[in-house]
Amino acid sequence: MNFKDTLLNGNEGLFKPASLTPMQKLALRFVVTGILFYGLTALEGMIMRVYQVKPIPTFNSEHYFSLLTAHPLVGIFGSSYSIVFGAFLFLVPFFMKKPLWSIKMGNWTFILVAGGTFVFWFSDFLTHFAPLYTLYWPLPADFTQFNPLSGSFFILGIAIVMVGTLLFVFNIFKTITYTPEGYEKVPGCAMLASATGFSWKESIFRRKSKRRENLVSLPVAAVARGTVDTLLNALIITFTGVLILVYMIAAVMGFNLEHSAIDALLYKNWFWWGLDLIADGLVLIFVAGTWYILATMISGKELYMARIARLALWVELVVSWTVWSHHLLSDQAQPGYLKVVSGELVTAFELITQGLAFFITLITLWSARPLKMTNPLKFLLGGLLGFGLAVPAGIIQADIGLNRILHNTQWIVGPHVHVAILVGLTMTLYSAIYLLLPILTNGAKLYSQKLANFHFWAHLTGGIGMGAFMGMAGLKGMLRRTIYYEGEYRIYMILAGICGALLFLAFLAFLYNIIMTVGIKGVFGIFTPAESDTKELLPENK
Amino acid sequence: MVNSELVLNGQTYAYTIYAIVVILFILGFAYQVTKPGKAGVLKTSLFVVLVVCLTVLGVSLHITTSKTIPWVPMDLNRADIKPDKVFNITVVKHQFQLPSDKLEMKKGDIVVFDVTSNDLTYGFGIFRQNKTMVCQMQVVPGHKNDLMWKFEESGTYTIRSTEYSGPEGHQMILKDVVIVNE
């Protein structure tokens, strides 16, 4: 096939969108949209990297901080949520061997998450509403700096994403507990207890001979436990959004509500409790669950210490509800006992739970030795390395003594946040995408292995390098969320910028490779209605 | 003499060594897992040792820093420590309002920076001439924000906000306003 044919029809014309089931289309829609939002996040990141090297005169600070507000939110909701939701709406029915409860609801989740992300991004792009994702009270309601109307559209976009998220949560739990027509009746409550971990005593304290089998498999349990945090987080963000919206609508109508009616420290505790359900909850639980799924699918072996892995997921869930105070170690009014217990000690548990997931995954892979170094395997190892680097970096900053000299520096956002998300999470998601690509596309063949190799190395070195140079600048006192005009940390920012450019090139190589694999017609075909109305995951002949 | 610069240098070395070890470990694993050979089964006892090691590692960091970093016990017990000087600072509309043009103290004095915000959440950080951070805290409106500190070195220091408070916040810098005399 010549270049033009491949570009239009995909590699060897193997991808036929007409052959896809509604479920395959649903999963692919999420993945393609998630990849495109990742591209937008990466582009915004590159603009900010350039700005950190030398502020661009035509690009004022309002514009810069509006980018800084949109960048993580598009990355989390538009990209990571989309890819994860798409994968799990497909994998939960796959592992439970029954159809998704509602494909229609799945499609609504897709529309709301993608549409909501676009609304808040576009509102930010046009109006430069910039309270950052932290929204520290009363900044989002400070109408001397921000227009309440533009803020309302921003919050509306977030609210739309949250509605989509709640539909995802409902669909997942309903899929776990319902009995499809013609299937043997399943005990819904017991399934739910097994999935969320409320039957944990059963598997720990009962004798092995008397122990009953878990009703749901480990991958489904991982998804369910992460989804509990997804639910709680969506409720907190929705509540916070409504609170902010009340102030905004009042201001639009000419009333100025008192900021002091809300206690800024209580709000900060409440908001971080909810926000940490993403950072220290669903991300870590979903990632651990995805590692287990990938390790068993790549190795073809049972998961090593599956019972311990299941318990660790439950511990991670409980830990995620109690770690928020590590974000308030530099708040002097925060009670000392919360700083020590929640901020330091409980947070240190993440080293244990994530360390267990790390080793269980490696040992499972090792048990199938020798393995071929496939794309899913190499990206999985990259993801493991990412968290191997980022989790201890987080434990270091979650220390009362060290936080005093690290809080809000580039250390936090470099070696911890960016390495965790870009190397740890994103490479894990790439591993899943490379693994699921032939399954979701009914056998499409990857266009270029050389491009996949470049994608891997450029992403890995770019991600670790960027985090490292940001961290070095942070240790020299460079703050995050600020602008330096006198070239104070320029050498570090140039090096971080080069690594950022590598990351961006890696993304372009991946995007080009995927487009050439499925073709432009194939990409558009994913978004057209499916020809069959089967509830099955895969076509009957597969 | 333990100051924040020394702690940061120590952290740089420790984390760099750790990062190199983890990267080499994964590279080694990636190489070995593709080689032919029988995979040994890891004993449960070794797995338990791993859990204990992770626990010790996580907790020992905090125990070590609480015993070696001098500002940790001072911070946690600051209500019971009598300071040599207290500087009352107000922040409003992205401006620090100091009690005097310069905040002067002697090296070794225990001082308190008591910062009140009248509107937004800000940060309060003290920086050396070489831009490295001495210390910082959050400044939350409606609450007491008091940072107790003992300067171990004489010199001139800069105050700047360490928290984002809107697009104007990054210009909240007061150069060379903290003077620590011998």
pLDDT, tens only, A60-106: 899 999 999 999 999 999 999 999 999 999 999 999 999 999 999 99
Q: Are strands B103-106 and B173-181 parallel, antiparallel or unpaired?
A: parallel
Q: Assess whether pLDDT exceeds 80 at residue A113.
A: yes
Q: Assess whether pLDDT exceeds 90 at residue A465.
A: yes
Contact A395 B147 (CB under 8 A): no
Candidates A404, A428, A469, A488: best to mutate against B (most CBs of B within 10 A) is: A404
pLDDT range class, residue A204, cuts 50, 70, 90: low
Give the lowest-confidence range in A145-154, A360-369, A533-542. A533-542
pLDDT at residue number B2: 80
Mean pLDDT score across all residues of chain A = 94
Task: Report the residue count for chain B.
Answer: 182
Interface subset of A 13-32, CB within 8 angstroms of B: none
Give how far A256 is from chain B: nearest CA, Å.
14
**A253-272 pLDDT, tens per residue?**
999 999 999 999 999 999 99
Alpha carbon distance A2, B82 (integer Å) = 81
Nearest to A488 among B58, B75, B131 (CB): B131
Give how far B98 is from chain A: nearest CA, Å.
19
Residue of B nearest to A348 (CA): B58
Q: Are strands B110-117 and B85-92 parallel, antiparallel or unpaired?
A: parallel
Give the rounded percent of residues in chain A with a pLDDT score beyond 90. Answer: 85
Q: What b/e string do you get for A237-265 counting C-beta neighbours within 10 Å, with b at 16 or more? A: bbebbebbbebbeebeeeeeeebeebebb
Give how far B110 is from chain A: nearest CA, Å.
17
Contacts of B83 in chain A (CB under 8 A): none
Q: Assess whether pLDDT exceeds 70 at residue A53.
A: yes
Compute chain A's Rg from CA coordinates.
Answer: 23
Q: Assess whether pLDDT exceeds 80 at residue A213.
A: no
Closest to A395 in 3D by CA, of A357, A351, A443: A351
- In the structure encoding, which two tokens stand for residue A269, read together? 């505790």
Give how far B134 is from chain A: nearest CA, Å.
7
Contact A362 B37 (CB under 8 A): no
Contacts of B120 in chain A (CB under 8 A): 136, 138-139, 142
Q: Region A470-476: what's the mean pLDDT?
A: 97
Nearest to B50 among A268, A359, A415 (CB): A359
Q: Region A228-246: what's the mean pLDDT?
A: 95
Q: Which residues, 6+ apart, have CB-to-CB distance to A389 below 8 Å? A: A415, A419, A423, A424, A464, A467, B19, B22, B23
Tell me the count of A-B CB pairs closer than 8 A: 217
Contact B65 A142 (CB under 8 A): no
Alpha carbon distance A75, A41 (integer Å) = 6
Mean pLDDT, chain B cut into blocks of 10 residues (182 residues total)? 86 94 97 86 80 85 90 93 97 97 96 97 97 97 97 96 95 97 93
Contacts of A419 in chain B (CB under 8 A): none
Contact B123 A408 (CB under 8 A): yes
- Tell how far CA B108 is from the center of its chain: 19
pLDDT range class, residue A202, cuts 50, 70, 90: low
pLDDT range class, residue A200, cuts 50, 70, 90: low
Candidates A405, A419, A485: best to mutate against B (most CBs of B within 10 A) is: A405
Contact A370 B120 (CB under 8 A): no
Contacts of B62 in chain A (CB under 8 A): 344-345, 348, 399-400
Give the lowest-confidence range in A232-236, A312-316, B11-15. A312-316
Strands of chain B (E only): list them. Answer: 85-92, 95-97, 103-106, 110-117, 122-127, 133-139, 145-150, 155-160, 173-181
Give the lowest-confidence range in A151-165, A180-194, A356-370, A371-385. A180-194
pLDDT range class, residue A210, cuts 50, 70, 90: low
**Start-to-end CA span in chain A (Å):** 26
Contacts of A362 in chain B (CB under 8 A): 29
pLDDT at residue number A541: 64
Q: Assess whether pLDDT exceeds 70 at residue A449.
A: yes
Contacts of A488 in chain B (CB under 8 A): 131
Contact A333 B36 (CB under 8 A): no
**A390-399 pLDDT, tens per residue?**
999 999 999 9
Contacts of A431 in chain B (CB under 8 A): none
**A23-51 pLDDT, tens per residue?**
999 999 999 999 999 999 999 999 999 99
Give the rounded percent of residues in chain A with a pLDDT score beyond 70. Answer: 97
- Tell how far CA A13 is from the center of its chain: 32
Q: Assess whether pLDDT exceeds 70 at residue A201.
A: no
Query: Can you tell me the ipTM of this complex?
Result: 0.95
- In the structure encoding, which two tokens stand for residue B145, read together? 């924000």
pLDDT at residue number A230: 95
Diameter of chain A by CA atoms? 72
pLDDT at residue number A280: 82
Alpha carbon distance A198, A195 (integer Å) = 8
pLDDT at residue number A211: 65
Contact B166 A139 (CB under 8 A): yes
Candidates A299, A332, A492: best to mutate against B (most CBs of B within 10 A) is: A332
Q: Region A472-497: what's the mean pLDDT?
A: 96
Contact B65 A401 (CB under 8 A): yes
